[in-house]
Structure 1
Amino acid sequence: MEISIRHYEKSDNGDLFDIYRLPEVTENTSQKPFLSSDTVGQLFDNPDNYTLVAEVGEKVVGHVTLFLTNKARDRHVAFLAIAVHPSCHGKGVGRYLMKQAIEQADNWLNLVRLELEVHADNEAACALYNKVGFEIEGIKRLSTFKAGKYIDMVLMSRIRPDFIAAE
């Protein structure tokens, strides 16, 4: 399977809606199930976000978004979100998206810190984030509601390696 990564375009909203309409995707995000196509489009049509998409053939099968801030003291930080179509789970799409987002963050966006939150029961995502250099910073106990109960969120971050070495 050949995966190509490129910057998000508004024309990708249909494929992204196809991803976010699936319960097995939204159950692992902060979004509610059954999002409208307008809501999905609003997630990505923001100039403060930096979104890359993964294509297989002519179809977008995943995205990674860096949520940038205009806060003067936090411009070195981005919050990261990712989603991959379930048909492509375990095929390297998520890893490839994460590596490309990290390359952009380190070498083009001048970011020092990437951070994310992940459901504690999402073991595959936790393993992926760990493989690409994220470390656990803490646990937010009973912080989100999923499938009728409160669950923990894992806080993870990645500090750019050359920044740590320069301290």
Structure 2
Amino acid sequence: MDPSFRESDLRDILDLWNEPLVQQSLAIDNVVPRSLKFAEQIREWSSNPCGIYVIITLKDTDEFMGTCNIWMNGVKNCDSFLTVALLPKFWNKGYGTESTRFVVDRAFRWLGLHRVSLGVFESNKGAFASFKKIGFVVEGIKRKANWSDGKWEDIIDMSMLEEDWATLYWKKNLITLHFK
């Protein structure tokens, strides 16, 4: 993983967002081609000082795999939103779990977050299992909130709180945190 966005990554990120399976797993919008105008949105996301934008690459070859990012929903409540997107050939191999764990850990350490939130489509069983494995908990379900493949599906809202994250790391004896 390379936690810094490079302009040279832009083409790969656009290709990622133009992959229909990826787009279908990330957005509630219709699957449509993303143009170079969308590149401006990517630049904005990657330069947000209240977030983390990570480029995921294979360690041995530096091959582009995807992105993982966190951005603040609101500074007052130290709340943020997480997304992770991998090219389909890297799905179900543990890369999403590793990337998400890395970014969530950095977000709590570097950004002083209180919570990290996300939404996952019920059809994305691999992502749901990965998020649970990392320590995210289900907060609620938006019933039949996404039309996909000719049917309605739920969107599952999940989160991890600062104390959830700290407990996971205390068990591993990696860090010690004290909450007031």
Q: Same fold (TM over 0.5)?
A: yes
Q: Deviations over 1:56-91 (max 9, x none)?
A: 22332111111224x4423x1110111001111122
Aligned residue for 1:73? 76
Higher strand share: 1
Task: Report deviation, 1:128.
Answer: 0.4
Equivalent AA in structure 2 for residue 166 of structure 1: F
Q: Does structure 2 retain, via aligned residues, the 8 Å contact 1:27–1:33?
A: yes
Q: Does structure 2 retain, via aligned residues, the 8 Å contact 1:62–1:93?
A: no
Percent identical pairs in the alignment equals 23
1:62 is the counterpart of 2:74: no
Normalising by structure 2, we get a TM-score of 0.80
SS at match of 1:118: strand
Equivalent AA in structure 2 for residue 27 of structure 1: Q
Compared CA separation, residues 43 and 19, structure 1 to 2 (3 A): same
Unmatched 5+ residue regions in structure 1? none
The two structures, once aligned, show a CA RMSD in angstroms of 2.2
Equivalent AA in structure 2 for residue 6 of structure 1: P
Unmatched 5+ residue regions in structure 2? 168-176
Task: Report deviation, 1:165.
Answer: 7.1
Kindly name which structure, 1 or 2, has the bigger radius of gyration based on alpha carbons: 2
Task: Report deviation, 1:43.
Answer: 3.7
SS at match of 2:105: helix
Q: Does structure 2 retain, via aligned residues, the 8 Å contact 1:50–1:68?
A: no
Task: Report deviation, 1:97.
Answer: 1.0
Aligned residue for 1:41? 39
Q: Runs ≥4 in structure 1, deviation > 3 angstroms?
A: 162-165
